[in-house]
Chains A and B, each alone.
Chain A
Amino acid sequence: MDWTWFHKFGSPPHVYRLAGLLTPWFAWPAALLILGALYGGLVLAPPDYQQGDGFRIIYVHAPSAWLAVMIYAVMATAAGVGLIWRMKVAHAVAASCAGVGAWFTVVSLLTGMLWGKPMWGTYWVWDPRLTAQLILFFLYLGYMGLRASIDDTSRADRASAVLALVGVVNLPIIRYSVEWWNSIHQAPSVMKMDRPSMPFDMLAPLLAMLLGFTLYFGAVLLIRLRAEILRRERNASWIREELT
């Protein structure tokens, strides 16, 4: 089998150029999908029979929560690839993920709270999903803290990669334990996602949002990755060709 395509991903100038080319292919569909889903979610979708218009928070809450978890998975995968194949570009990807992931974890927490207030009557409930998300936020903080506290880039890369992998092994256990803990201490919550079935005009905007947010993350990641590569490769000769 021909592995050149794989090795090309280890080459910073190649990835730098490729990321630049790909960015609009993520950014524009993301913008269109998110705008379309906004219209679909806020205008076209009918109010929910129980939650009225309040349910529309799902169109920003669910995609943020999805991004928070997905970005951690991307980060850990990139960290693992970087650690195993000693691929500098993969480490740069992992480094570019953490900040965005932490942001969307906060957004999912805040939107969850804003949804909780009218539904549960209080902003914060020790709901398993909110709790697990809060712990995820601390995992992101730890990752960024460790990275920031090590001066040497290569060591920072590998140490934080080990942490990301430990975290990804631990995340399912944390999620399970939090759900288990909640099932003992709390009556089942009012807000249930697993209702029989969402009508299509409610579901379609949600799916569009999920895809749109994913593509949006792709675009942001590509831009951040290029900045990260430039910073790391600042003494490489290919930068001269690239910038002049």
Chain B
Amino acid sequence: MSAPGVFRVAAWVVQRDLRLATRRPSQVLQPLAFFAVVTLLFPLGYTPELAKLRAIAPGVLWVAALLASMLALESLFREDAEDGTLEQFVVSGQPLTLLLFAKTATHWLMTGLPLTLMAPLVGGALGVPFAALGGILSALVLGTISLSLIGAVGAGLTLASRRGGVLLSLLTLPLAVPVLIFGARATELAIAGDSLTGPLYLLGAVAVLGVTLAPLAAAAAVRIGLE
């Protein structure tokens, strides 16, 4: 019997994680609900005036997206480490980097992508004009990819530690600063109706760097965490 190709295996990992997610939808829905609640707290805590909200909308959207994707990270590797799945990954002879990349991609499909798709609703509530949505969506797609990748490294590193939670945020939030800056700037430009190619390119560059390096770091971290 010939061994299945690595991409077949990666596809299986994606399928498996998606199936697991459909069995426990609350894990997927909670970060999304969190994203909505956090952003909607701002009109209540600040002002209902759309003009004023529009000015802080970029920051609000991106900080909320950052926190929501962080919230979903805890479950990224922890359960699979506890039930032995990750150990099977390591001994399977398949490249761990690729398997973890598949898991991270699935994580993005279940948090980053829905967060992005929710942005029009949430953005509308913050007074973001309809014309800006295209730009905001493309910035969020690129930005959330990077957030998931950075988060995967953090989640891998905290496997070895006794407590995840707060430590995970402390590790990953500083690393996410560039994504926050470029993303919020792109959103700001989109709302103002200007060209946002500059920050979009930068977001793209961060995402490409993340795709190349983060799975390697995550694999190293998971190996250490599983010992």
Point out residues on A near B: beta carbons under 8 Å.
Answer: 83, 135, 138-139, 141-142, 145-146, 149-152, 155-156, 158-159, 162-163, 165-167, 169-170, 173-174, 176-178, 180-181, 184
List 22 A-B pairs, Cβ < 8 Å: A138-B170, A138-B173, A142-B170, A145-B167, A145-B170, A145-B171, A146-B161, A149-B158, A150-B161, A155-B224, A159-B161, A159-B224, A163-B157, A165-B217, A170-B178, A173-B178, A176-B178, A177-B181, A177-B182, A178-B181, A181-B181, A184-B185
- Interface: B114 (CB within 8 A): no
Bound-state Cα–Cα, A158 to B202, Å: 31
B181→A155 contact, CB < 8 A: no
A139 in contact with B158 given A173-B206, A181-B185 (CB within 8 Å): no
Could you tell me how many residues of chain B have their Cβ less than 8 Å away from some Cβ of chain A? 28
Is B63 interfacial (CB-CB < 8 Å)?
A: no
User: Complex formed: what's the CA distance from A150 to B164 in Å?
Assistant: 11
Could you say which of A163, A165, A176 contacts B171, with CB atoms under 8 Å apart?
A: A163
User: B23 at the A/B interface (Cβ < 8 Å)?
Assistant: no
Which residues of B in the span 17-68 have a Cβ within 8 Å of any Cβ on A?
none
Are A156 and B174 interface neighbours, CB within 8 A?
A: no
Q: Give Cα A184 to B202, complex, Å.
A: 15
Q: How far is the CB of B78 from chain A (nearest CB, A)?
A: 14
Please give me the residue from chain B that is nearest to A158 by CB atom: B224
- Given contacts A159-B157, A181-B185, A169 and B171 within 8 Å (CB-CB): no
Contacts A145-B171, A146-B157, A149-B163; A178 near B177 (Cβ below 8 A): yes
Contact B224 A146 (CB under 8 A): no
Contact partners of B171 in chain A: CB under 8 A: 142, 145-146, 163
Residues of B close to A158: CB separation below 8 A: 220, 224
Known: A145-B167, A165-B217, A166-B175. A159 touches B153 (CB 8 A): no
CA A209 to CA B187, docked complex, whole Å: 44
User: What's the least CB distance linking B9 to chain A, in Å?
Assistant: 24
Give the secondary structure class of B's interface. helix
Contact mask for chain B residues 175-205; partner A; CB cutoff 8 A; 1 contact, 0 none? 1011001100100000000000000001000
Query: Bound state CA distance, A63 and B153, in angstroms?
Result: 32
| Residue among A150, A162, A176 making CB contact with B220, cutoff 8 Å | A162
Interfacial chain A residues near B162, Cβ < 8 Å = 149-151
> What are the residues of chain A within 8 A of B175 when measuring CB–CB?
139, 166-167, 170, 174
6 shortest interchain CB distances as A-B pairs = A149-B161, A177-B178, A138-B174, A142-B171, A181-B181, A177-B181
Q: Which residue of A lies closest to B199 (CB)?
A: A180
Partner of B160, one of A138, A155, A176, A181: A155
Q: How far is the CA of A185 from the CA of B191 in the complex (A)?
A: 16
CA distance A141 to B170 in the complex (A): 8
List of B residues within 8 angstroms of A174 by Cβ: 174-175, 177-178
Q: In whole Å, how far is A155's beta carbon from the nearest beta carbon of chain B?
A: 5
Q: Is B227 an interface residue (CB 8 A)?
A: yes
Q: A165 vs B220: C-alpha distance in the bound complex, in angstroms?
A: 11
Closest beta carbon of chain A to B104's beta carbon, Å: 14
Cα of A166 to Cα of B156 in the assembled complex, Å: 12
- Cα distance, A170 to B177, chains bound together (Å): 10
Residue of B nearest to A174 (CB): B177
